Amino acid sequence: MPNSFQLVFLSSFVFVLGALVLLSQFINAKLNAAGYYVSDIILIGLPKENRTVTDHAPTTAVISETAGETTMPYAQLLALALAVVTSAFIYWKFSSSKRKPVLDPQVWQEFTLKEKVVVSPNTAIYRFALPHPEDVLGLPIGQHISVAAEINGKEIVRSYTPTSSDDNLGHFDLLIKAYELGNISKHVSLLKIGDNIRVKGPKGQFNYHPSLSRALGMIAGGTGITPMLQIIRAALKNPADRTKLNLIYANVNPEDILLKKELDELAAKHPSRFEVFYVLNNPPAGWTGGVGFVSKEQIEKHMPPTDENIKILMCGPPPMMNAMKKYLAELKYPAPRTVSKLVDQCPAMITALAPMIGMWAPVKSDRLRAYKACLQKYSPLLTISVSHSVRKMSSQTTTTPRAPMKELNESGGWSSSHTSSEANQTHPDFSDEEADVVLSSQEGILFRIHSIILKMSSSWFRTLFTLPQSSKTEQTASAMSQEVIPMSESADILEVLLSMACGKEIPISRLQSIDFIEDLLAVAEKYDMPGPSSIIRLSVSLTHVRTHPIRVYALACRWGWTEVARTASSHTLHMDLLDKKWAGELRLVGSADLARLMLLHRRRRDYLRKELDSAERFYANVVPGKCTGCNGDISHFRWHALKYAWVAVLEERPILVAEKDLLERAELLEVLDSKCPRCQKSLYNAESTLYNLRTILEQLPTDVEFEEDTARQ
């Protein structure tokens, strides 16, 4: 397709040529009418015998008429043919010759920031100018570029996928979400208009084309939408492309959904070819999309049916990708293609999206076993068993083959490995060679830590280390350092627990899962670690009490956190506990604690009913009813309807009472507008009625009562 400049050139050429032809015809006609002939003017100075003009009749130099037809001489036909051929050649030359793509996979080039469009508080589209307004970036669909910058004296390189295409001349766009701990993302967010970045590319093995497959399934998380959007745009704008596209897009909060408006518009414009399904970890009220993590069931429902002629593309944090691969394999989908590694775009993305992706395979330990171990934490049998395991492990010879271990791969997940190299089996955050204790997780990951830390933070380990140990003469220091204490907990649990004990930076993202919190708390109690237990309690009371009030209430009652239990119970006031959707969570609450919670909701209903029936508060409850104006008998049926409606709402839709929306209901407006049918005097004082009703709502019980509360009363 010709560009705008070529179209302007062609149209102007045709216009000028046509104008000249018309002008020449007009001048020729005027000269003929005045008695001047073009042939005479052109042939001045030549012998008259060579002229072909006779009696100044119309000549073949201009027009000759034969049998009523007007024909043009051969010379003019030749000139016109030459003009058409020249125009066609010029058009072909300009339209077929494209400027050479700017990208060079071997050379770093600098591009200037020309515009910044803010998408969200920490996300923006950055537009960088190419050297010439007619330049194209030259990036194949499905590939990405490298962006480099020198940060704190180090060369940092990350990969990004432009949201623009080669149809956009003179610039390219990058959608980047800035993170406080990010490198390139933070660097780009601080750029000013006119600053430069260094780019090299293209990179990647994937290259999209219309005949790639019958359908494409896409799974994206966070800014992993950028390579997907590149493919979606290219496929939908090509009328010859019939590929069907299905997208699952996962985020934490609604404001994290990038370019949602464009995605929705594309889905509405191409309903038969493009479908998008959103998943949120923290959905708003009335949300109709997915909730929590991307599940196997969502993939089965929203991805195209599996066969040999479809492909699955993914882009997101590595833990999410690992979980998705597992689900896809179980559903018999072909092996997915990872369009872009999100870890390249920003390592902090893993932390930012962790609430949305969780661990994707959260630890689901046997709680009965955990509680049993907790009760046995001081059991001599348990201590002897662990001590025996340590001695048995240290007595093994070096020729004993080791079981397949796991190592921490570069993407942050645990992957299987058959190497016996200890360096590859050690957690990178707990790899101090001077540490005198080595703990081994359930997967075989090693954690090197100083015994003094375990003694100070755990009574269980303090008791273990005070048991009789083998003498130093029986084992060298090297042999002692190789003793490994096997633990029944997973590496994820040990990482968080030991980080709390050592004062290291706590991976907060792990604490976003309430299931993980429960398992972590059970382990902290098992090894009698009050410090980590306090941190967990603080995390629960700050983050989960609003999103999972029943689960937090059950935890708080189980571990004796009275204040946290009160706070959690107050966050259940908007919930109808008799709704079957809460049955699963209510099973986790002990019978006595469940009775307290149900009693709280019953106390609220009884208090509301009692106060609404109070004759001291409301004149309408006085029997018989009399009008204060004419002293005639009146019926307070609207007031009684209001009382019935409010009590029913408290039982069926408690959220309206919790948020005091009752004051805006129609029943109250009808009461305040009631007048005596005889004297038309208002039956109720609006100001005092509203004041009393508001006071009742504010004085409703807000939290559960424990025995100490009853004793104080």
Rounded Cα distance between 599 and 604, Å, is 9
Task: Tell me the C-alpha distance between 413 and 321, whole Å.
Answer: 10
Counting every residue written for the chain, the total comes to 713
Q: Using CA atoms, how far apart are residues 136 and 97, in angstroms rounded to an integer?
A: 13
Q: Residue 691 CB: number of other CB atoms within 10 A?
A: 12
The owner of tokens 């704190």 is 152
Start-to-end Cα distance in the chain: 85
Residue 184, marked binder: yes
Q: How many CB atoms lie within 10 A of CB 260?
A: 17
d(CA 285, CA 216): 31
User: Helices (H), strands (E): how many in the chain?
Assistant: 30, 20
Report the C-alpha gap between 332 and 712 in whole angstroms: 63
- CA 515 vs CA 312, 370, 492, 510, 548: distances in Å: 30, 13, 13, 10, 11
Pick the catalytic residue from 123, 161, 223, 338.
161
User: Would you say 508 is a known binding-site residue?
Assistant: no
Burial class (CB in 10 A: 0-12, 13-18, 19+), 474: exposed
User: How are beta strands 109-120 and 123-129 bridged, if at all?
Assistant: antiparallel
Helical packing angle, 260-269 and 225-237, nearest 10°: 30
Catalytic residue among 315, 557, 636, 684: 315
CA atoms within 13 A on the CB side of 167: 9
Say which DSSP state 676 is in.
Answer: -
161 is an active site residue: yes
Residue 185 among known ligand-binding residues: yes
488 assigned ligand-binding residue: no
| Three-state DSSP class for residue 91 | helix
Cβ–Cβ contacts within 10 Å for residue 162, how many? Answer: 26
Tokens 């601080």 belong to residue: 190
Name beta bridge partners: 276.
247
Measured CA to CA, the distance from residue 605 to residue 650 in angstroms comes to 7
d(CA 35, CA 37): 7
Q: Would you call 557 a catalytic residue per the annotation?
A: no
Closest C-alpha among 9, 20, 13, 11 to residue 76: 20
Tokens of 620: 């309408």
132 part of the active site: no
Would you say 374 and 460 are in contact if contact means Cβ atoms under 8 Å apart?
no
- Catalytic, out of 123, 144, 346, 571: 144
Q: What does the alpha-carbon distance between residue 232 and residue 218 come to, in Å, rounded to a whole number?
A: 10
Whole-number Å distance between alpha carbons of 353 and 412: 13
Rg (CA), the chain: 40
337 labelled binding-site residue: no
Reported as half-sphere exposure (CB side, CA atoms, 13 A), residue 204 has a value of: 23
Residue 29: CB atoms within 10 A of its CB come to 12
Catalytic residue among 37, 160, 249, 327: 160
| 502 noted as active-site residue | no
Cα–Cα distance for residue pair 235/227, rounded to 1 Å? 13
Which among 529, 373, 379 has a CA at the least distance from the CA of 462? 529
CA distance 516 to 509: 11
Which residues line the annotated binding site for FAD?
158, 160, 175, 177, 184-185, 226
Which residues line the annotated binding site?
158, 160, 175, 177, 184-185, 226
By annotation, the residues acting in catalysis are: 144, 160-161, 315
